[in-house]
Amino acid sequence: MSNQNYITEDEIDLRDCIRVILKRRKIILTVFFVAVITTAIASFLMPQIYEATSKVQIGRIDELLMKKEEAKEMLLSPSLLAPIIKEFKLDIKIEELRKKVKIEDIKDTDLLEINVQYHDADMALKINEAIINSFISYGQAIYQERISLINERLKELDTEIRNTQEDIRRTQSLINELLGTTSISQPEISLRIILLQNTLPNYESHLYALKNQRSTLKRLLVKARDFKIFEAALKPEYPIKPKKRLNVTIAGILGLISGIFLVFFIEFLEKNKEVITK
């Protein structure tokens, strides 16, 4: 019997709720439409924001030539952004422009994603291109400098390898000459040959190390990757903000909830009017 009483009470409460909603549906609908229309007008009047997105590859020789955090700071630095403001005659401060540029780290890659948000689609694209071009130009200078150092070292290694090979050939030639000479005593010849033969392992070990170093540097050059545009930005066709449909949908839901809450509050006030006025 107790369960039946609970069910009956729940059914009565639900009927009361539906009765209140139907009774004051005009208030609910008014709040709903006011919220939706107001949000739609506000969304329509808000400036449209466009986003241009690109990806850049950080140069690598054995390891990244610039840490990603360092690259992010470089991309948002005043030395890079100030010329862009001047070039495009933007009526904006460096700090404001910095807030419109988002740098995302693409994990497990050498890539960074650059997002530029601006109220003009063409300008969003131009700013994005200017930022990555300046960054790549700066990075490529570092890359070329490192490549030049490696090439210079390779030339030095080639010279050292030739000289070491010549030392080995000369030592072997002296040994052969001593073996065929009769102008000096045999003990003296044996001593000189032993001394020369003892130098050969040192020369050969040094030659092996030089060739290994040359091979390592050549492998670095093969695997080296310059700073470059991995994915160029395209002119955005549609704004990313304001999200009119989403704003209106949320406003509608909140309007309904607010309207329902309001009518129950009004109902509560009317039922307890006498208690409140006392």
**C-alpha angle 11-15-18 in degrees, rounded to nearest 5:** 140
Indicate the domain borders of the chain: 2-46+242-264, 50-231
Residue 5's pLDDT is: 47
- Taking only the tens place, the pLDDT of each residue in 1-23 is 444 444 455 554 777 788 888 88
Across 65-87, average pLDDT: 95
What gap in Å lies between CA 56 and CA 257, rounded to an integer? 47
User: What does the pLDDT look like over 31-73, one tens digit per residue?
Assistant: 888 888 888 888 777 788 999 999 999 999 989 999 999 999 9
CATH topology of domain 50-231: Alpha-Beta Plaits (3.30.70)
C-alpha to C-alpha distance for 128 and 186, rounded to whole angstroms? 82
Query: Is the pLDDT reported for residue 274 higher than 60?
Result: no
User: Which pLDDT does position 109 carry in this prediction?
Assistant: 94
Average pLDDT of the chain is 89
When comparing pLDDT for 274 and 178, which is higher? 178
Confidence of residue 277 (pLDDT cuts 50, 70, 90): low
Tell me the per-residue pLDDT of 204-224, one tens digit each, with 9 for 90 and over.
999 999 999 999 999 999 999
- The whole-number pLDDT of residue 31 equals 87
Contact 111, 230 (CB under 8 A): yes
Report how far apart, in Å, the C-alpha atoms of 1 and of each of 7, 9, 11, 12 are: 10, 12, 15, 17
* 98 or 246, greater pLDDT: 98
**Average pLDDT score over residue span 115-137:** 96
**Per-residue pLDDT for 242 more than 90?**
no
The pLDDT tens digits for 165-205 are 999 999 999 988 888 887 788 888 888 889 989 999 999 99
Report the pLDDT averaged over residues 234-243: 88
